[in-house]
């Protein structure tokens, strides 16, 4: 049958139906019950997230295409995150481009105008030509779609690990804005509505949901990858926003195609679809392929009968296909007919209620390998090894391929600070950031779940914003492997605890399992948090000035497990604990300092530790001198002090350090002056030691462009 169902599921289907499904019905069930669409191994746990709050309009419990929160003045923002990992491994250009197209359609399905994209990308070792080819085409695909459709890519992440050699991760998030009273649901609650489909259906993307719900086989599965057409996507965007207030519900045709879209839109009611009425890109398509095709740039609308002509007339003006293909019924049965013959007849209840799986769990055992002590590492070697790591270099090579200033709403551009800032229609400023830390999650997924949530919160604070909403993406290997499932559950526990502590609701997200390389080795656990927040009063655009004081906010701990230093050298150390109280208080101090115009530069300390935060200042063309003896820490080892990545800390530049120190004391946290900026460009002075890092600064700016010339 070519389906991806487990034997226990096949038996369950026959038992519930009391008959043998035909081929078309097996394909429909396979799509709707796929892990990609049904969340059958995860849904029960996602309900444990904090997802309430006075500003939440739509969230996880509503199972809409995207989440929405109120931002005041009658406006709301819509947030969604998705991935296109498997497609990007096979066809990186179209895989990444259609990931952008899909996330944009999720946002416009709420009646919201997309205003910003973020891309979070992880690929393998750049010394391998295949990984350079993957990265080059992933970036090109994202730029092609975003630039063509006029939605700016304002930020993201780009990181490298050999674990992603055969299975790159391509995450895309989208932010949209809409008047609160204009938000459109994705589901209906009454029969009699007509189903209107816009767009052409083709043979690309066949079985894509099933493909995304199994391991990459290494065989050519190019047919499961959709083809991107951003110019058609722009028509869908413009026309959908034009008719949004004239329809009852909007659904993007994504994973599982029509099979999933009509089932989810009906929300337990029934549907009847006449397949021959569906506009086709390819003549004489197999009816079953029409049902499960995942061709892009298509949308489904539930419309009152008297408004059907008005809706299709809008698309006629764009010369874009539009057809009434069926209607919502009250018989709670999903039906597909072809030239009057019924080829699918399945209960909605069956399709919407797949078995829920709870797999075995087992804590991962530490690998028995030789570790070294951080005190055995020579200082200059540590600096050069960490600061030259590809994760830390400038990502301008990637950002330069994106039109991040289209619509002129980008206030802080990608790479300028820890978060990007965009101007909203109500005049408010919104900061956005995506964060993950696979190395830490590989050590302790629970602490990592808390840590990445806290890091996103600090990143927003560094530009003057307070987080108000988050979405998550949980990316793991095969959930049937006990160690994988254990990490998954621990990450959920950590993220949920942090979201409740910060009082920031998680309004949506995605789960992506079966991320493994060609040898069957799963990726490192890679949960991701995308957070958005409003600038409280003023925002900070970083600058560096000679003679400004360097102040370290927060306490440094010699916890190096999961750090970049440990990854490079193999250090035995403790996992950094997420002390969320320190994160929130330090963030409040930074926001207060920005609003009182007391600082000119702020960076939270995370990847690369204090060493990279200082180095980032130096990329502005200055030198820095610090006295490590002035750093408040539980260790006097200079390596630990420089490269620990424990949270709750910021580096800021100020001309009034006492104000910050006094303010920190009043809040119950520590802050100390640890040095000053000087004009000795490229020189890092540590106590009495001077280290020239000029070559590393050149490397920082040029590495990616140079290495990708051979891509």
Tell me if 82 sits within 8 A of 96, measured CB to CB. no
Distance of CA 359 to the CA centre of its chain: 25
The 3-state secondary structure of 332-352, one letter per residue = CEEEEEECCEEEEEEEHHHHH
80 assigned binding-site residue: yes
345 assigned binding-site residue: no
Pairing outcome for strands 113-123 and 153-160: parallel
Catalytic annotation on 36? yes
Pairing outcome for strands 526-535 and 429-436: antiparallel
593 assigned binding-site residue: no
84 assigned binding-site residue: yes
Tell me if 682 sits within 8 A of 106, measured CB to CB. no
85 assigned binding-site residue: yes
50 assigned binding-site residue: no
Q: Would you tell me how many other CB atoms lie within 10 Å of the CB of residue 137?
A: 20
**Calpha distance 1→213 (Å, rounded):** 16
**Calpha distance 176→115 (Å, rounded):** 5
Catalytic annotation on 473? no
**Calpha distance 190→342 (Å, rounded):** 23
Residue 658: in which H helix or E strand, if any?
helix 657-667
**Calpha distance 550→644 (Å, rounded):** 18
Which residues contact residue 338 at a Cβ distance below 8 angstroms, ignoring those fewer than 6 apart?
Answer: 274, 275, 276, 287
**Calpha distance 307→313 (Å, rounded):** 10
Q: Beta partners for 701? A: none
Q: Tokens standing for 358?
A: 């709870």
Residues in the chain: 711
Tell me if 2 sits within 8 A of 480, measured CB to CB. no
389 assigned binding-site residue: no
Q: Tokens standing for 495?
A: 């993220």
301 assigned binding-site residue: no
Distance of CA 564 to the CA centre of its chain: 22
Q: Beta partners for 651? A: 552, 603
**Calpha distance 321→297 (Å, rounded):** 11
How buried is 8 (Cβ within 10 angstroms: 0-12 exposed, 13-18 middle, 19+ buried)?
A: exposed
Q: Tokens standing for 235?
A: 């028509």
CA distances from 449 to 279, 319, 506 (A): 45, 47, 13
Give the active site residue among 36, 389, 473, 625: 36
Question: Rounded to a whole number, what is the largest CA-CA distance in the chain?
Answer: 86
Q: Tokens standing for 635?
A: 């260790």
Residue 627 DSSP code: -
Q: Tokens standing for 588?
A: 């409040």
493 assigned binding-site residue: no
Tell me if 203 sits within 8 A of 223, measured CB to CB. yes
**Calpha distance 123→126 (Å, rounded):** 8
Of the candidates 143, 326, 107, 111, the one whose C-alpha atom is nearest the C-alpha of residue 239 is 111
252 assigned binding-site residue: yes
512 assigned binding-site residue: yes
**Calpha distance 265→262 (Å, rounded):** 5
Residue 226 DSSP code: P
42 assigned binding-site residue: no
472 assigned binding-site residue: yes
Give the active site residue among 84, 389, 473, 625: 84
Q: Tokens standing for 100?
A: 């952008």
293 assigned binding-site residue: no
Q: Tokens standing for 389?
A: 């790591």
- 655-686: burial string, b at 16+ Cβ within 10 Å, e else: eebebbbebbeebebbbbbbbbbeebebbbbb
Q: What is the DSSP string of 408-459?
A: G-EEE-TTSSSSEEEE-TTS-EEEEEEEE-HHHHHH-HHHHHHHHHHHHHHH
Q: Annotated binding residues for ATP, as ranges?
A: 39, 80, 472, 509
List the binding residues for Mg(2+): 82, 106, 252
By annotation, the residues acting in catalysis are 36, 84
Annotated binding site: 39, 80, 82-86, 105-106, 226, 252, 472, 509, 512
């Amino acid at each position: 049958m070519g389906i991806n169902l487990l034997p226990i599921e096949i038996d369950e289907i026959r038992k519930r139906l009391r008959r043998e499904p035909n081929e078309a019905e097996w394909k429909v069930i396979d799509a709707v019950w796929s892990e990609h669409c049904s969340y059958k191994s995860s849904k029960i746990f996602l309900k444990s997230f904090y997802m309430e709050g006075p500003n939440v309009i739509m969230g996880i419990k509503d199972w809409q295409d995207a989440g929405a929160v109120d931002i005041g003045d009658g406006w709301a923002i819509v947030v969604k995150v998705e991935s296109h990992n498997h497609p990007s491994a096979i066809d990186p250009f179209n895989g990444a481009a259609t990931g952008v197209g899909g996330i944009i359609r999720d946002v416009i399905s709420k009646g919201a105008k997309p205003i910003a994209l973020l891309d979070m990308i992880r690929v393998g070792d750049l010394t391998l030509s295949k990984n350079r080819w993957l990265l080059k085409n992933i970036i090109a695909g994202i730029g092609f779609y975003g630039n063509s459709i006029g939605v700016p890519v304002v930020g993201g992440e780009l990181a490298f690990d050999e674990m992603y050699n055969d299975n790159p991760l391509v995450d895309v998030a989208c932010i949209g804005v809409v008047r609160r009273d204009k938000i459109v649901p994705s589901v209906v609650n009454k029969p009699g509505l007509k189903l209107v489909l816009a767009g052409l259906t083709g043979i690309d993307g066949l079985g894509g949901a099933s493909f995304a719900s199994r391991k990459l086989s290494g065989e050519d599965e190019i047919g499961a990858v959709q083809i991107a057409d951003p110019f058609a996507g722009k028509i869908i965007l413009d026309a959908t926003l034009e008719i949004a207030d004239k329809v009852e519900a909007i659904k993007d045709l994504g994973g599982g195609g029509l099979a999933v879209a009509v089932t989810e839109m009906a929300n337990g009611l029934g549907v009847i679809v006449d397949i021959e009425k569906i506009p086709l890109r390819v003549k004489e398509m197999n009816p079953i392929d029409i049902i499960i095709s995942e061709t892009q740039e298509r949308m489904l609308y539930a419309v009152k009968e008297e408004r059907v002509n008005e809706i299709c007339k809008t698309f006629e003006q764009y010369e874009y296909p539009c057809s009434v293909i069926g209607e919502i019924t009250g018989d709670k049965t999903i039906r597909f007919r072809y030239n009057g013959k019924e080829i699918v007849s399945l209960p909605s209840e069956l399709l919407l209620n797949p078995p829920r799986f709870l797999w075995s769990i087992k804590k991962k055992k530490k690998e028995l390998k030789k570790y070294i002590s951080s005190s055995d590492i020579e200082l200059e070697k540590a600096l050069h090894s960490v600061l030259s790591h590809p994760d830390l270099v400038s990502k301008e090579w990637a950002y330069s391929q994106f039109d991040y200033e289209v619509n002129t709403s980008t206030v802080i551009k990608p790479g300028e600070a820890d978060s990007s800032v965009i101007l909203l229609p109500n005049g408010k400023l919104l900061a956005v950031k995506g964060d993950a830390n696979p190395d830490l999650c590989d050590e302790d997924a629970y602490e990592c779940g808390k840590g990445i949530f806290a890091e996103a919160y600090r990143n927003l604070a560094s530009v003057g914003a307070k987080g108000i909403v988050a979405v998550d993406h949980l990316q793991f290997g095969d959930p049937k492997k006990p160690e994988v499932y254990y990490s998954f559950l621990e990450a959920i526990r950590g993220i949920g605890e942090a979201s409740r502590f910060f009082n920031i609701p998680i309004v949506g997200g995605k789960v992506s399992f079966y991320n493994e390389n060609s040898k069957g080795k799963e990726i490192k656990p890679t949960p991701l948090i995308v957070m958005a927040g409003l600038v409280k009063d003023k925002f900070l655009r970083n600058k560096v000035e000679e003679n400004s004081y360097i102040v370290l906010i927060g306490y440094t701990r010699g916890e190096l497990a999961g750090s970049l230093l440990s990854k490079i050298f193999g250090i035995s150390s403790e996992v950094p604990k997420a002390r969320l109280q320190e994160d929130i208080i330090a963030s409040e101090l930074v926001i207060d300092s920005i609003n009182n115009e007391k600082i000119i530069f702020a960076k939270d300390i995370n990847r690369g530790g204090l060493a990279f935060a200082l180095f980032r200042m130096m990329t502005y063309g200055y030198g820095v001198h610090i006295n490590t003896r002035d750093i408040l820490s539980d260790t006097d080892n200079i390596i630990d002090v420089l490269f620990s990545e424990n949270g709750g800390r910021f580096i800021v530049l100020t001309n009034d350090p006492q104000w910050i120190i006094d303010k920190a004391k009043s809040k119950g946290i520590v802050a100390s002056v640890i040095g000053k900026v000087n004009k000795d460009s490229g020189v890092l002075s540590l106590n009495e030691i001077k280290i020239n890092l000029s070559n590393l600064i050149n490397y920082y700016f040029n590495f990616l462009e140079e290495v990708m010339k051979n891509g």
